[in-house]
Amino acid sequence: MSTRKRSGHIGVLTSGGDTPGLNAAIRGIGKTASCMGSMQVIGFKDGFRGLMENRSVRLDNQMLSGILTLGGTILGTSRDKPHKMPMGGKSVDMTDVIVENYHKNHLDVLVCLGGGGTIKNAYRLSQSGLNILTLPKTIDNDIVGTDVTFGFDTALGIAVDAIDRLHSTASSHHRIIIVEIMGHRVGWLALGAGLAGGADAILLPEIPYTIDKLAESILERVSRGKRFSIVAVAEGAINREGANKIRAVEKKLEEAEGEKRIELKKQIKELDNEYRGSTIKMAEELEKITGLETRVTILGHLQRGGTPSAADRLLATRLGTSAIDYIRNEQFGNMIAVHGEQTMAVPLQDVAGKINYVPYDHPWIITARNLETSFGD
């Protein structure tokens, strides 16, 4: 352990979507700080909004007792952004108020537990002069610079369990069962769950599909006497037509300036809304082409809930306890990442605004293709 100056007042908040393991991370920070004697930890309620409104609670041993196995977050969360805080029907920049409250509470550091959006907001606050650390949480596993995010393992297990259960009903009927799995704009959850659950097709945002190719793979299974097919679909999956249209606009965006950039970004958003998250429409098209009864199950926020897995408890606890070492060494402006069995500090500027997409040559994809799993491409 370092013998450098110990930062005495630590603020903690959870921001963005709730994720299994948040309470384990909070507990890891609080209990380790308590062992240091001179360190005090306060938690701000409901994310950055709670910090803006100066609503906090002392994270002492009594508050931290019994929370390791709890899902969600004892601090509450929100998606409010410091620079775009909803106030009286308007979006207001409340960064100055947050900075003021940081100093009013005599904080030496603010630890933000969150995903991509939280990291961007935390980076902005670090640019405003605050000492910031972040811990990578999200069920999507879409944060760069870390092997894995806490929350992913629990959500993966829930999705696999759902596919396992759907196998039972699918095998009783000549049906196509489509399971929509969360993951935002990346396919880690759908890929992992589809592979572990034995899905016959997996549709990912990273691999644009065509409905004809998907239908072809399912009809080929029927010709071999298979009674059913399971299709795991990432919520951000997109067909080739939509992907090509978005790429064309993105190419124009690279060279555009001023008002033209705003217009093109709006076009991309509209195309996103039109072509992504259209699982129901895709199911209807698939049924029409194959003539097979098709049913859709959308797991949604079910994947965020419940008791965190052992792996997520271990990871979140490791990251939470490690945070105290980084605080004692005053290594601020970083995300604490996990690399193998070690943790390391990754500068927020290297993480903010970046997305960890599934590589085309990832071992999970190669394994699935070796099993003749269709990606609709």
Question: Which residues of the chain carry a pLDDT beneath 50?
Answer: 1-7
Q: Which of 1, 73, 72 is nearest to 30 (CA)?
A: 73
**Cα(55)–Cα(44) distance, rounded to whole angstroms?**
6
Tell me what pLDDT residue 4 has. Answer: 42
Tell me what pLDDT residue 253 has. Answer: 81
Tell me what pLDDT residue 306 has. Answer: 85
pLDDT in tens, 2-51: 334 444 899 999 999 889 999 999 999 999 998 877 789 999 999 999 99
140 is catalytic: yes
**Which pairing describes strands 229-234 and 56-58: parallel, antiparallel, or unpaired?**
unpaired
Tell me what pLDDT residue 179 has. Answer: 95
Tell me what pLDDT residue 153 has. Answer: 96
pTM for this entry = 0.91
CB atoms within 10 A of CB 326: 19
CB atoms within 10 A of CB 362: 15
pLDDT in tens, 60-103: 989 999 999 988 999 999 999 999 998 888 899 999 999 999 99
* Active-site residue, from 80, 140, 142, 153: 140
Q: Which of 266, 160, 138, 278 is nearest to 208 (CA)?
A: 278
User: Domains (ranges, CATH) in the chain?
Assistant: 9-150+308-340 (3.40.50.450), 154-238+276-304+359-370 (3.40.50.460)
Look up tokens 């306060």; give the residue.
Answer: 42
E strands, the chain, in order: 9-14, 40-44, 56-58, 85-87, 90-92, 109-114, 132-136, 175-181, 201-203, 229-234, 293-298, 334-339, 342-347
